[in-house]
């Protein structure tokens, strides 16, 4: 831990958990254990229903909405 309280997550764990630079983490204290939970962005969830929409591309409106939701989500995270 650095003098500023910063912690480095080892590269192999970041790769395994698909945690990227700039990604938000929720820090939770449980007893004497600290958990860091990645906060998924809406855009990262895009395609989770790909079987339902196989062969179809999302419309421009859906892509725009995903971007708006990502921005709004970032604002809400900064307030907490």
Residue scoring higher pLDDT (14 or 72): 14
User: What confidence score (pLDDT) does residue 16 get?
Assistant: 92
* Integer Cα distance of 32 and 27 in angstroms: 13
Question: Are the C-beta atoms of 77 and 70 separated by less than 8 Å?
Answer: no
Band the pLDDT of 48: cuts 50, 70, 90: low
Q: How far are the Cα atoms of 4, 60, 73, 76 from residue 69, in angstroms, in the given order?
A: 31, 14, 6, 10
Calculate the average pLDDT of the chain.
82
Nearest to residue 22, comparing CAs of 5, 34, 1, 39? 39
């Amino acid at each position: 831990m650095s003098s500023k309280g910063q912690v480095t997550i080892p590269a192999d764990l970041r790769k395994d958990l698909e945690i990227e630079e700039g990604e938000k983490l929720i820090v939770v204290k449980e007893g004497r254990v600290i958990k860091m939970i990645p906060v998924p962005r809406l855009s990262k969830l895009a395609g989770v229903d790909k079987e339902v929409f196989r062969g179809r591309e999302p419309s421009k409106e859906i892509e725009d909405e995903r971007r708006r939701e990502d921005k709004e989500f970032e604002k809400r995270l900064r307030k907490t």
